Structures are given as C-alpha cells and as structure tokens.
Amino acid sequence: MSDILLNIKNLHASVDGKEILKGINLTVRPGEVHAIMGPNGSGKSTLSEVLAGNPAFSVSEGEVDFHGKELLALSPEDRSHEGLFLSFQYPVEIPGVSMVNFMRAAVNAKRKYFNEPPMSAGDFLKLMRQKRAIVELDNKLASRSVNEGFSGGEKKRNEIFQMAVLEPRLAILDETDSGLDIDALRVVAGGVNKLKNERNATIVITHYQRLLDYIKPDFVHVLYKGRIVRTGGPELALELEEKGYDWIKEDNR
C-alpha cells in the first residue's frame, strides 16, 4: 500500500544468541509521529539498530516493508539512501575526520545511489550553512572532527543536523533526550519539529514523557520484553509518567 511508509510484521531479532525482539508489529504512515516507550532492557534500542541494519544483530524471523522495499534485504547504506535515518543514542567519535568531509561523503554517496553527480563544493557549503541554523550549531562545527570532543548536547544536535542534511523519509530518534538539559532539549526537539512534514515520519524512542512535551506523538507504544504490549494516543505517555512501568510489568507477567 502506498500510504504506508513502514510496515513491521512479526519481527524477531537477537544479539549474541539472545533473543531480544520477540515479534514486533508496527505500521507507520507518512506524517505520523510514533513514540516507543518502555522500561530499560525492553528492546527499544535493539529495534532501532535492527531497522538500521547493524550487523551485530541478527534477524531470525519477520518482514519489514519500507515504502515498497524489502528493508531487511538492503545494506545499511542502502537503507540510508532509501530514507531511513537513525539518530544514535551514543554517537560515535571519528577522530581526524572533519564534519564537512564526513557529510560530503554521505551526501555524495546518496547522490551516487540515485545516479546524480556529486554536489559542487559551493552548493554543499551552502547546504551545510542552511541546515546548521535548524539546530543552532555554530560554524566551527564544519572543521571539527565528527563528534570528537562534543558535549552531550552538541552530539545530539549534531545528529539532528545530519538528519536535516539527509532529509530522511523515516527518522528514528533513539533516546535523543538522554543527557540533555532543558535548553538543549528544546533546541533538538525544535529541530525535529521543523523537519516534520506530511511526507516523512518520525519514531521517537524514549524512556521519559519529557521529550513528548516537545515532540507531540500521534501514537504511543509500550515495548516490554521484546513485544509491543500496549498502543494508545498521547494520553498513554502521561499515564506512564504518572504510574510508572510497574503496572505494565504486572499486566504482562
């Protein structure tokens, strides 16, 4: 169906022989924001890594359709080209590689995938300038090494900056709020909101309701022991905030 962006059916995945995801079902349509919440260790990050194609995880069962493509058959880089973006919980440092070189490699790899010529240096720098403004990153960023010596807040802003440059159809934000003070949180969430439109969708993975005050979800899912055990509207997040996760655990014992 053309109005479904992401369709996950019965997804099972494991790491080091231990099954973490035990049958995930999820449908995301363009324009939607989905929040996935759940206690620590429930499989939230695993879901995002598996969708992005991290080779450390193996899929044992299930299908994932990404706007008509068989997502699990694509390499991580092709998933990226097809419009999947993961904002990492812990963005890795790459010493000596400047942000400008890194992003140019990313942008041109995508253009190559779609048989387009590399972007000219002038156009590229203009693009960097425009996108930087979205998350209020200063212009020294371009010459700094990827995430090296970045503060927690800068790292997360840098993730959203990369998202702005790559313009994904589906963005997965993995605990983007963790380690952020309230000002950084506002900037990051503001960036995400600016990038939202009718054609793309966002999956927000978070432990706390706090981020959802800034990024309003259409759906809230509760992940527990590798399954989505409850789905509701924004009010579900508030309920979780109030009652904690214990009642979910009780219900699913």
Partner 1 sequence: MNNDKEKNKPENKGDESREIIDDVTGGEYKYGFTTDIDTDIIPTGLNEDVIRLISTKKGEPEWLLDFRLKAYRHWLTLEMPKWAHLDIPPIDYQAISYYAAPRKKEGPKSLDEVDPQLLDTFNRLGIPLQEQKALAGMAVDAVMDSVSVKTTHREKLAELGIIFCSFSEAVKDYPDLVRRYLGSVVSYRDNFFAALNSAVFSDGSFVYIPKGVRCPMELSTYFRINASGTGQFERTLIVADDDAYVSYLEGCTAPMRDENQLHAAIVEIVVEDRAEVKYSTVQNWYAGDKDGKGGVYNFVTKRGLCRGDYSKLSWTQVETGSAITWKYPSCVLAGEGSVGEFYSVAVTRNRQQADTGTKMIHTGRRTRSTIVSKGISAGHSQNSYRGLVKIAPKADGCRNYTQCDSLLLSSTCGAHTFPYIDVMNDTAIVEHEATTSKISEEQLFYCNQRGIPTEEAVALIVNGYAKEVMNKLPMEFAVEAQKLLQITLEGSVG
Length of the chain as a residue count: 253
Minimum CB–partner distance for residue 70 and partner 1 (Å): 8
Is 58 near partner 1 (CB under 8 A)?
yes
Spatial CA neighbour of 12 closest among 64, 82, 71: 64
Half-sphere exposure of 42 (CA within 13 A, CB side): 21
Is 203 near partner 1 (CB under 8 A)?
no
Instruction: Fill in the per-residue mask, 142 to 161: x = in contact with partner 1 (CB under 8 A), - = not in contact.
Output: ---x----------------
Spatial CA neighbour of 47 closest among 12, 75, 17, 77: 12
Q: How far is CA 111 from CA 126, 128, 173, 213, in A?
A: 17, 16, 24, 36
Is 127 near partner 1 (CB under 8 A)?
no
Spatial CA neighbour of 253 closest among 235, 229, 232, 231: 229
Minimum CB–partner distance for residue 196 and partner 1 (Å): 20
Of 191 and 217, the one with the shorter C-beta distance to partner 1 is: 191
Minimum CB–partner distance for residue 16 and partner 1 (Å): 12
For partner 1, the binding residues (CB under 8 A) are: 50, 52-63, 72-73, 75-77, 79-81, 85-86, 88, 91-92, 94-98, 101-103, 105-106, 109-110, 113, 145, 162, 166
